[in-house]
Structure 1
């Protein structure tokens, strides 16, 4: 991945690209979009997520046990971002750059389930951030690994494609597996 300084510079560049694109795309839809800002996932962010986000009535039956802080600290090659709008933590993002910088794989994206300025916009914002990291690191594609199948149509609307096996299943009117969706950048 390079030196820590190179990583910081590419991270800043990617997040500035993401900010510009997000503001440009959502300025009319979200009046406070210019208040969006990004930082690394910190221990106090995890304390906001757990247990509050997990205790939300819509998530109680999902049994989500993902620990953002542990995953961020697990490996240095992770690309982690906490997504804020004003004083509200609106989402958390975790991706990985492949060893040969072929792709940026979006691993996890979680939105704050409580009312916040970016509610309903976390998926496109997360994809813009992943694509910006891919551009900054000169990766050829962005992959979304193990997406929720109910969200596959939204990913496809944003240019992400099923792999050849899933396209074949879809043509035969069979259920797709959707283990990975890919977009060339």
Structure 2
């Protein structure tokens, strides 16, 4: 298969993963807290310049990785999934994960929720992101989702969502474990 066909195939996979995450969120509407979240206003889409601009000021100054880098990574490594999580016109979170050349693992490289505690999807950025990454990883027939270089303070949050350290000290969850 040509590289161009691979890019198209992975683009279709990403779109399918976005839809699956939103479908699952809609199915769980009754269990959401608060239950009045209007899931019809939730969107998942690729990270665009508009999303990067909306996230300006979220992260730490001088961070090694930035959202501006994602555009180049998407072209260099097509086996990745990038997502911007919106509620109406408000950007609530972004993530980037990539399998690169692996046939086993997809690594969650960047994940960030809007630091404002009042945004409407507070507490849902990681679960929605994981659902999309898991769906993408299934299409790639991968076995693990790994958190690349997890921030120490975020480790308990990942563990609450099913991640655990393996014997190689990687913070992982098995694909399909959601």
TM-score range, shorter chain: 0.7 to 0.9
Contact 2:98 2:107 in 1 (8 A): yes
Query: Which of residues 47, 59, 78 in structure 2 aligns to 1:41?
Result: 47
Q: RMSD of the TM alignment (CA)?
A: 2.2
Q: Distance in 2 between matches of 1:152 and 1:24?
A: 28
CA distance 1:26–1:80, change in 2 (3 Å) = same
The CA distance in 1 between the partners of 2:168 and 2:103, in whole Å, is: 24
- Superposition pairs of residues 1-185 of structure 1, within 5 angstroms: 3-25=6-28, 27=30, 28-30=32-34, 31-51=37-57, 53-54=58-59, 62-63=60-61, 65=63, 66-74=65-73, 75-77=76-78, 78-114=80-116, 115-164=118-167, 166=169, 180-185=170-175
Cα distance in 1 for partners of 2:130, 2:53 equals: 25
Q: When the two structures are aligned, how many residues end up with a matched partner?
A: 164
Alpha-carbon separation, structure 2, partners of 1:64 and 1:85: 28
Shift of 1:165: 5.5
- SS of the residue corresponding to residue 84 of structure 1 reads strand
Scaled by the length of structure 1, the TM-score of the pair is 0.77
* CA distance in 2: counterparts of 1:43 and 1:76, whole angstroms: 19
When normalised by structure 2's length, the TM-score is 0.80
Q: Alpha-carbon deviation of 1:22?
A: 2.6
**In structure 2, distance between residues paired with 1:140 and 1:84:** 28
The Cα shift of 1:82 comes to 0.8
Structure 1 residue 4: deviation in Å? 2.1
**Which consecutive unaligned segments of at least 5 residues does structure 2 have?**
none
1:41 shift after superposition: 0.9
What SS does the corresponding residue of 1:118 show, helix, strand or coil?
Answer: coil
Decide whether aligned partners of structure 1 residues 64 and 119 sit closer, same or farther in structure 2, where only a CA change above 3 A counts.
farther
